[in-house]
Amino acid sequence: MSVIYIALPVALVFAAGALAACVWCIRGGQYEDLETPAVRILFDDDSPSSSPK
Amino acid sequence: MSAGEADSQGQACATGPSGVCRHCQLPIPRAYQEAQTKLLIARGANAEAAAAGVVFCCNGCEAAYELLHASGLDDFYQYRAHEPGAAGHPGDSGESYEEFDDPSFLADHARSMGPNSLSVDLRLDGIHCRACVWLLERLPRLMPGVSEARLNLHRGVLTVTWDAEQTKLSQVARRLDQLGYRPYPYQRNDAEESALRETRRRLVEIAIAAAVAGNLMLIAIALYAGWVSGMDANIERYLRWVSAGLGAIALAGPGRTFFRQAWAGLRAGVPNMDLPIALGLGLGTTVGWINTFRDTGAIYFDSLGMLVFLLLVGRWIQYRQTRRASDDIRRLYELTPSRARRVSAEGEARWVPASALTVGDRVRVLGNETIPADGIVVSGRTSIDRSLLTGESTPVEIAPGDAVHGGMNNIESPIELEVTAVGGVSRLGRLIDLVENAALKRTRLVQRADALGGWFVVVIVVATLATALGWSWVRDPHAWDHAIALAIVACPCALGLATPLAIAVAVGRAARQRLLVKGGDALERLVHPGTIWFDKTGTLTEGRTSVRSWVGDRSVIEYVVALESLSNHQAARAITRDSSRWSLGGASGTTGHDGASSLSVEQVQQGETGGIAGVVAGRDVRVGTSRFVGDKASIDPRWDRWSDWVARQGCTPILAAVDGAVVAGVSVGDALRGETASVIARLKQLGWQVGVLSGDHPRVVAGVARELGIESRRALGSLSPEQKVEVLNDHRHQGTGPCVMVGDGMNDSAALAAADVGISVQSGAEISLRSADVYFGRSGLLPLLGLLQGARRTVHTIQLGLGVSLMYNALAVILAAAGQINPLVAAALMPVSSLTVLAIAVGGRAFKSGTMEGPTLAAEPAASLGPAPANS
């Protein structure tokens, strides 16, 4: 069971890494508009029948 | 979309009955529809749909339909959430947007993205369907010179990057306009910048709190398991110390907010909601740390970390609501035009951005344009529509020396004015401030629920200690186990969940019935009957002038209509439009829907005293006020009595004389909505006091009140928007129950925000409705009854949920204190109460379609155009 003395700090370091990534996303403004990207992905650029002209 | 709105958008829609866009459900002018059907069939695309009469309002909608149709997802059109906020489809307004090329505009709004490359944010009106994202982001393909276009659907802001050498911003704006999206300049000001920073700061705090709380929970589960199955003492100590460390991070990081605000409140001498929270957090942490050092007893860091996280999430939701509300309120500025015709000293007029106007500038405003800023008229006479600011239903004549305000509409002829106030200090600007302040004040009330969580923690800590000490007193070896079981089982999750869950379910269902409820607390305040105030124009009434009755010789209707079709006066237009209903044999062959007549009209004279005269098909016809008609024709005293009677009803009497004698009379006014009387009667039955607050003439208001059986002391007219707020504040303390305001226009928005609950009904100016708590996406007043009923049911559900979870908690705490539950069982029981509360919330009947008062959406015909005018 003594492996937990190493495993727990490692897990916490992973958590800290994930947290840092999340903070980076927030600072980059990725959470400001949650609607448009969800819609944007619905449209396929190469769809031949959906020319805007 | 009402018929009134279609009228105000010009003649495009008036040429015939309209189709409805298959995708976004907006009406489409018939001419456009026919052309499009031909085009679709010719192109082969969507031919099947086109042949079946399916039409679209825009390419975006068409492509989206195609996409869904091809994928067999047509059910989307049955299931989709209705989007009542969707703006109209304005079409090409024909504006030049040359002010967008003004150097001062570009300096203010554009950012340089490299050599010749500029970027600007434009707020677009008319983004109504998701496919619009697709269309707008393909703008570079439609416009050479535009390198990128990104749309933020939530804010309706398009960021355009373009090459200044290849194209001009005004051309981009014109193209957007042609596509049906009217662009407005959008500028991030300092307040928005700081709001953005605040948003990010809060999100980072939540992220930290979540990470810490999650890890604390994992460790706590290991510890609980250890108590049951046994655990090495060293490992247990190690886990406790790690918990203590993480707990310290939660408190020192995201949890600091509560201490800071509690301290600020204490220093100001006003203990606020953060005080109990800070007390709970402080006490829990202290006891936890002491127990960690003593190496015995309960530590509370998992609960504390979770509490910090949940509280921050709750505040985030609330903060976002507030911010959205204030964003919406800021948009009210769009009611004034973004540009103005500034007249130079040499008398030359040039378009400039409205933001560039300064006090003392001379501005020219043509007929049918909106006045860009407050000012004094220096030349020209005209009549203006002040309904935006005052709610008056009839236009007002103005002459040089009169003051006008930004946002009012110039109806007739060109005027020039000298600007006296712009932007935030103008009348509209001050009104918007008023709305904003009232809206902010109200959201603060919400925080009370949080305090419960704080006190709850204190109670749990005390109860836990008491349990531990009590059992130690009787020398029970499991004393701390009992205490820990109590701490776990008393977790306030279910208690905290009951209210938000029930409200979330109710608000979601209400939205499907096109009742947009902004904050759940509005529902709670609508439970007990109080006083409900209605605006008159556009709320109780249809909001447009129409013919209410024709009396006398109906054979002259054709003559009158032929003459009136030449006048631009509001009453004349109403007569031209509505009179066919009264003519002999229904719609007359010679008088079309649009008023075109085959009768010859000669020697037309417009009178100064309100009327028009001419020779129609050889007969001398005069139509107008009794003063105008009386100049050249004899008026029987009978007609004078009729005129008085009509005026007492709040309508305008118009007389028609043929060959020198009055033969017919028309009563013109704003007709009540068809359902108004029954809704008012039902409200009274439910115990509500009903009143009218109107900017219109007191006589008109009194007429409407009499018709609806509203007491005259509660029927107030001639109120400015500011006075409406005063009346609401005066009456709030008199009666019991909430003070509710129902209105529709800009002139009501301050009152809507000041009332305990502001409800706005759908009509013309959509963006002015957003200061309200509740917004009806369907026209008419019937949704009001459904709303009141839904509110009662929602609160019933909340009370049931709270009762059940409180009972559960109390029972569990008693059992745990009695030593009947061990920690593991407690951990397993914890989610049961949350699930019960969830089941209660989902099972509630609030806003369930089919059980609502008033017709639900499925049962309601498309759009009621109101009843035939009442006969006199």
The CA distance from B236 to B223, in Å, is 7
| Contact present, B846 and B506 (Cβ < 8 Å) | yes
**B684 & B767 share domain:** yes
Which residue is listed with tokens 């997802």?
B73
| Contact present, B868 and B6 (Cβ < 8 Å) | no
Taking alpha carbons only, the member of B243, B250, B98, B272 closest to residue B174 is B98
By the CB < 8 Å criterion, does A28 face chain B? no
**B781 & B702 share domain:** yes
Lowest-confidence region among B317-326, B545-554, B591-600, B707-716:
B591-600
Inspect the interface and report whether the beta carbons of A19 and B207 lie closer than 8 Å: yes
Inspect the interface and report whether the beta carbons of A36 and B196 lie closer than 8 Å: no
pLDDT for B209 beyond 90: yes
Give helix B233-252 / helix B274-294 axis angle, nearest 10°.
150
Inspect the interface and report whether the beta carbons of B70 and A5 lie closer than 8 Å: no
Inspect the interface and report whether the beta carbons of A19 and B215 lie closer than 8 Å: no
Rounded mean pLDDT, B356-383: 85
Per-residue model confidence (pLDDT) at position B91: 44
Inspect the interface and report whether the beta carbons of B214 and A15 lie closer than 8 Å: yes
The answer to whether position B272 is within a domain reads: no
The answer to whether position B34 is within a domain reads: yes
**B657 & B678 share domain:** no
Q: In Å, how far from its chain's centre is CA B151?
A: 21
pLDDT in tens, B728-765: 888 776 666 788 988 876 677 778 878 888 888 865 44
Q: Which residues of A are less than 8 Å from B239 in CB distance?
A: 8
pLDDT for B794 beyond 80: yes
Of the candidates B386, B403, B425, which is a domain's last residue? Answer: B425
Inspect the interface and report whether the beta carbons of A39 and B70 lie closer than 8 Å: no
By the CB < 8 Å criterion, does A27 face chain B? yes
**B627 & B772 share domain:** no
Rounded mean pLDDT, B431-444: 63
Prediction ipTM score: 0.83
Of the candidates B788, B821, B843, which is a domain's last residue? Answer: B788
| Contact present, B349 and B330 (Cβ < 8 Å) | no
The CA distance from B853 to B788, in Å, is 9
How far apart are the CA of B152 and the nearest CA of chain A, in angstroms?
6
| Contact present, B10 and B95 (Cβ < 8 Å) | no
Name the residue type at position B448: R
Rg of chain B on CA atoms, in Å: 33
pLDDT for B151 beyond 60: yes
Q: Could you tell me the pLDDT band of residue B771, with boundaries at 50, 70 and 90? A: low
Inspect the interface and report whether the beta carbons of A39 and B153 lie closer than 8 Å: yes
pLDDT in tens, B136-146: 777 777 678 88
Residue of B nearest to A15 (CA): B211
Per-residue model confidence (pLDDT) at position B242: 93
How far apart are the CA of A7 and the nearest CA of chain B, in angstroms?
12
**B60 & B113 share domain:** no
Inspect the interface and report whether the beta carbons of B203 and A5 lie closer than 8 Å: no
DSSP count for chain A of H helices, then E strands: 2, 0
Q: How many domains does chain B have?
A: 5
Helix-strand-coil split of chain A, %, nearest 5: 55, 0, 45
**B21 & B166 share domain:** no
* Beta carbons within 10 angstroms of residue A25's beta carbon: 13
Q: Any idea of the CA torsion for B317, B321, B323, B325, to the nearest 10 degrees?
A: 180
The CA distance from B336 to B352, in Å, is 14
The CA distance from B641 to B648, in Å, is 11
Rounded mean pLDDT, A27-48: 70
Inspect the interface and report whether the beta carbons of A22 and B59 lie closer than 8 Å: no
The answer to whether position B108 is within a domain reads: yes
By the CB < 8 Å criterion, does A21 face chain B? no
pLDDT for B715 beyond 80: yes
Inspect the interface and report whether the beta carbons of B211 and A15 lie closer than 8 Å: yes
**B736 & B593 share domain:** no
Residue of A nearest to B234 (CA): A2
CATH number at residue B587: 3.40.1110.10
**B679 & B662 share domain:** no
What angle (nearest 5°) sits at the alpha carbon of residue B721, between those of residues B720 and B723?
65
The answer to whether position B575 is within a domain reads: yes
How far apart are the CA of A35 and the nearest CA of chain B, in angstroms?
6
Inspect the interface and report whether the beta carbons of B134 and A5 lie closer than 8 Å: no
Per-residue model confidence (pLDDT) at position B12: 34
**B131 & B121 share domain:** yes
Inspect the interface and report whether the beta carbons of A35 and B207 lie closer than 8 Å: no
**B678 & B666 share domain:** no
Rounded mean pLDDT, B834-858: 71
Rounded mean pLDDT, B552-580: 79
B408 SS3 class:
coil
Q: Which residues of A are less than 8 Å from B131 in CB distance?
A: 43
Of the candidates B135, B166, B187, which is a domain's last residue? Answer: B187
Q: Could you tell me the pLDDT band of residue B244, with boundaries at 50, 70 and 90? A: very high
Inspect the interface and report whether the beta carbons of A36 and B133 lie closer than 8 Å: yes
By the CB < 8 Å criterion, does A3 face chain B? no
What angle (nearest 5°) sits at the alpha carbon of residue B131, between those of residues B126 and B133?
75
How far apart are the CA of A23 and the nearest CA of chain B, in angstroms?
6
The answer to whether position B548 is within a domain reads: yes
The CA distance from B68 to B6, in Å, is 30
% of chain B surpassing 90 pLDDT: 4
pLDDT in tens, B515-535: 777 766 778 788 888 889 998
| Contact present, B775 and B516 (Cβ < 8 Å) | yes
Per-residue model confidence (pLDDT) at position B212: 94
| Contact present, B548 and B578 (Cβ < 8 Å) | no
How far apart are the CA of A26 and the nearest CA of chain B, in angstroms?
6
**B536 & B685 share domain:** yes
| Beta-strand relationship, B182-185 and B415-421 | unpaired
Inspect the interface and report whether the beta carbons of A19 and B211 lie closer than 8 Å: yes
By the CB < 8 Å criterion, does A26 face chain B? yes
The answer to whether position B748 is within a domain reads: yes
* Beta carbons within 10 angstroms of residue B637's beta carbon: 7
CATH number at residue B164: 3.30.70.100
B-interface mutation test, from A5, A6, A35, A43, most B Cβ less than 10 A away: A43
| Contact present, B777 and B82 (Cβ < 8 Å) | yes
| Contact present, B700 and B393 (Cβ < 8 Å) | yes
CATH number at residue B360: 2.70.150.10
Q: Which residues of A are less than 8 Å from B200 in CB distance?
A: 26-27, 29, 31
Name the residue type at position B362: R
Q: In Å, how far from its chain's centre is CA A49?
A: 32
Inspect the interface and report whether the beta carbons of B45 and A49 lie closer than 8 Å: yes
The answer to whether position B273 is within a domain reads: no
B602 by Cβ neighbours in 10 Å (0-12 / 13-18 / 19+) ranks as exposed
The answer to whether position B598 is within a domain reads: yes
**B22 & B103 share domain:** no
Which runs of E-coded beta strand occur in B368-495?
369-370, 374-379, 382-385, 396-398, 403-404, 409-410, 415-421
| Contact present, B561 and B576 (Cβ < 8 Å) | yes
CATH number at residue B714: 3.40.50.1000
| Contact present, B657 and B663 (Cβ < 8 Å) | yes
Q: Which residues of A are less than 8 Å from B63 in CB distance?
A: 43, 49-50, 52
The CA distance from B561 to B420, in Å, is 42
Taking alpha carbons only, the member of B537, B532, B551 closest to residue B703 is B537
Q: Which residues of B are less than 8 Å from A2 in CB distance?
A: 235
Per-residue model confidence (pLDDT) at position B751: 83
pLDDT for B276 beyond 90: no
Lowest-confidence region among B157-171, B473-487, B632-646:
B473-487
Q: Which domain holds residue B7?
A: 3-79
User: What is the DSSP secondary structure assignment for residue B536, as one 8-state letter?
Assistant: I
